[in-house]
Structure 1
Amino acid sequence: MSHDPHAQSDQTVLDMIERSPVGAVPHTPTYQDALKRLIASHQVYVSADHKGGHVTVRSLATQPAFYANNFEAVQAGTVEVGQLEPDASIFSRYVQSLPEALRAKAEERRTLVVGRTLHHRVKHGGEVTRDPVHSLFLVPGCGPHTGLPGNYLYGSVLEASAETGAGSWSLSIHDGEDGAAMCDVPSQADALSKLEEVIASAPFQLSELDALGFRSN
């Protein structure tokens, strides 16, 4: 039976990161070599919250994802997609989930992350139309750069046009800087299904989304 000679030292470093308040690892060769292996195998990410610190994927796997609280109802067809929970509300739930010390820093990113409010408009002749859908989601993970406070990536489900007959949708996911991954899908149903797949796959590195049909920038 094969045995990984590094398994014990790697496990020690994983435990060490999770016990440390800042995800610190000693700067000795043995520990640093283990850290490099764990980063390369996507078991550890650089921390968004503590300079020089790290966070384990298994700890991020216990964190919730944030998306429209009526997503399942929209997916089931009992609620119109235009009635999805507003982005501002989703972002507020994310902020409130964070330790108090991180909330102010997260709020600084609100303008960047939260999309425009969805509006319904009355056209000439009385026809009611709405803006294209932009629905925010946040999932634990990392990109080429660290994510938002709490080690979150943020993204959106975006409708190209709200006009009847238009069928172009996309999903985009971003880290805290300029790392991003995008995916185009032909319909609302495909967009909602893809979002469900993304949420189920978290936490992840943006580069891992290639397997789900995303392209990185």
Structure 2
Amino acid sequence: MKAIVQRVTGASVTVGEERISSIGRGLCVLLGISVEDTQKDADYIVRKILNLRLFEDENGRAWTKNVMDGELEVLCVSQFTLQCILKGNKPDFHSAMSAEFAQPFYSSILENLRSAYKPELIKDGKFGAYMQVHIQNDGPVTVELTSPPGPTDPKQLSKQEKQQQRKEKTRSKGPSESGREKVAHRSRPDPNASSGAEGDVSSERES
């Protein structure tokens, strides 16, 4: 999943002659859903949108506050063209999720944003419509978000989980026996080393 997050002083969506929605200071988010996206991708994007520190604090320090800290608005606009793949100079959108599935998926993202924040501060365009999006970028500040890729093969997922479990067990047990033996072996004095030869580490430390 991809999102273009812009800090704005104002943004609005118009369809035809009708203004669908508008916000004041806050974030305008263009959201592109791919055919491979899952709820995990949606959760990541929602969390990042709400927690990105793109605003200043009361003392003017930049990059310290997120949109929730200032109780600012968020305008989301569905943007399938973010999933564009160029074939020469022609854009191809086969990697974008089809409208049939993307619409309920996109609606669930909006609901997640509203439930995690304040519903009245989350605004939307009109899914599938030909929209005019007016953005007053503040800064300009623009951040591109891409949800991290993850394995989709169940066998690969299971293998990844087992590897993580082994790592956690290793950390909880501490160094292994073989590891402690290696440390002990390295700490033993070399019987062939001279006690006072030039370059001998122990002699240098004692002098």
| TM-score, normalised relative to structure 1 | 0.23
Higher relative contact order (CA 8 A, sep 6+): 2
Larger radius of gyration: 2
Q: Which has the higher strand share?
A: 2
